């Protein structure tokens, strides 16, 4: 007869984030000793790390920090939402964020090599994956700087940690509207700050597509350029932040809101877990 209870299983699952069957097997092997079971889970997880390399880790969460004109955001991925909402995983992700802030890492490679608990983030990631039993990875690292950096984290589901994160960087005058604009970015998903930030190849491809569509509609060739230009305006309104209708007041564009505040957005970043 097993020397553990359902409460023991629940406690070890909450501590490790491991699956129920893995926890039960470990407790059985450890004859109910929770500490020994934890070590069994960890060791078995380390042995199976290579087997998980081909799996997809598209769930997870975003953690972020913003202070003194610097913003840092880290995406930490897991295979399932079950792990993503586990408190042990959430706490671990915040420790990875602390390592990112302390090391000033601006990319995944440098963050993985950064110091964390007398080893590296990569070592700690491997250890956590061993305990949890899923493939874990650092998906992205974002670092922004400016006069004013505003952060918005959005939960797409109330039972999950943040899945969408936005940084909006403005001049000092933009502090009064930056957070609302960050929420706008989360909802409206602009691809570019303004028309000048649309890459030439993207614009050329869009123009060529619109020309082809317009000609296929049978429009006279001499008015095609004018029609295409009008349709490009719609493209800009869909894809450029400052041209979009403002979420809080669609009668105004984001550009108008910024003008009224005497503010300038210099950069924005939107991250969606797994995207």
- State residue 16's pLDDT score: 67
Q: Is residue 254 one of the residues assigned to a domain?
A: no
218: exposed, middle or buried (C-beta count within 10 Å: 0-12, 13-18, 19+)? Answer: exposed
pTM for the model stands at 0.80
Domains identified in the chain, total number: 2
* Helices assigned H by DSSP within the chain: 6-16, 20-29, 34-47, 81-84, 87-103, 108-112, 121-132, 178-188, 200-216, 224-239, 254-261
How far apart, in Å, are the Cα atoms of 191 and each of 73, 136, 202, 237, 238?
A: 18, 28, 11, 11, 9
| 156 part of a folded domain | no
- Do 67 and 24 reside in the same domain of the chain? no
The 59-67 sheet, strands edge to edge: 59-67, 70-78, 137-145
Tokens of 25: 């097997």
pLDDT attached to residue 2:
64
> Quick one: which of 169, 103, 167, 188 has its CA closest to 138?
103
- Structure-block tokens of residue 15: 């501590």
Kindly list the distances between the CA atom of residue 240 and the CA atoms of 109, 142, 209, in Å, as whole numbers in the listed order.
Answer: 30, 21, 19
* Residue 21 pLDDT: 79
**pLDDT (tens digit, 9 = 90+) per residue, 16-71?**
666 777 788 888 888 888 888 877 776 666 555 455 555 778 899 999 999 999 99
Within-domain flag for 86: yes
Question: Band of the pLDDT at 3, cuts 50, 70, 90?
Answer: confident
- In a domain, residue 182? The reply is no
For residue 140, tell me if it sits in a domain.
yes
Distance (Å, whole) CA 28 – CA 48: 20
65 and 123 share one domain: yes
Is the residue at 139 inside a domain? yes
Average pLDDT taken over every residue of the chain = 91
- Assign residue 25 a region (left: φ > 0; alpha: ψ between -120 and 50; beta: otherwise): alpha
| pLDDT for position 12 | 78
Q: What is the distance between the alpha carbons of residues 212 and 81, in angstroms, rounded to a whole number?
A: 44
For the packed helices 121-132 and 87-103, what is the interaxial angle rounded to 10 degrees? 170
Residue 197: inside a domain: no
Classify residue 189: in a domain, yes or no: no
Domain that holds residue 35: 6-47
Q: Indicate which CATH number applies to the domain containing 35.
A: 1.10.8.10
Q: What is the pLDDT of residues 66-101, one digit of tens each?
A: 999 999 999 999 999 999 999 999 999 999 999 999
Q: Which of 102-111, 221-230, 264-273 has the lowest mean pLDDT?
A: 221-230
């Amino acid at each position: 007869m097993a020397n553990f209870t359902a409460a023991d299983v629940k406690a070890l699952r909450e501590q490790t984030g491991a699956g129920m069957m893995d926890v039960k097997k470990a407790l059985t092997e450890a004859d109910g000793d929770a500490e020994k079971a934890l070590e069994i889970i960890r060791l078995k997880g380390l042995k199976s790390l290579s087997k998980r390399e081909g799996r997809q880790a598209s769930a997870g969460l975003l953690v972020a920090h913003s202070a003194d004109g610097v913003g840092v955001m880290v995406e930490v991925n897991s295979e399932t939402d079950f792990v993503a909402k586990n408190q042990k995983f959430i706490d671990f992700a915040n420790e990875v964020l602390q390592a990112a802030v302390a090391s000033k890492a601006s990319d995944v490679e440098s963050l993985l090599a950064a110091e964390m608990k007398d080893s590296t983030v990569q070592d700690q990631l491997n250890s956590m994956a061993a305990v949890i039993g899923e493939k874990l990875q650092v998906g992205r690292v974002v670092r922004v700087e400016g006069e004013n950096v505003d952060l918005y984290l959005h939960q797409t589901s109330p039972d999950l940690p943040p899945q969408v994160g936005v940084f909006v960087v403005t001049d000092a005058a933009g502090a009064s509207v930056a957070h609302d604009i960050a929420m706008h970015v989360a909802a409206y998903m602009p691809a570019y700050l303004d028309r000048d930030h649309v890459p030439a190849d993207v614009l050329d491809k869009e123009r060529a597509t619109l020309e082809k569509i317009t000609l296929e509609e049978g429009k006279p060739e001499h008015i095609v350029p004018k029609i295409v230009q009008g349709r490009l305006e719609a493209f800009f309104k869909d894809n450029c932040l400052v041209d979009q209708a403002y979420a809080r007041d669609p009668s105004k564009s984001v550009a108008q809101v910024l003008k009224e505040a005497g503010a300038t957005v210099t950069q924005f970043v939107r991250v969606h877990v797994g995207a």
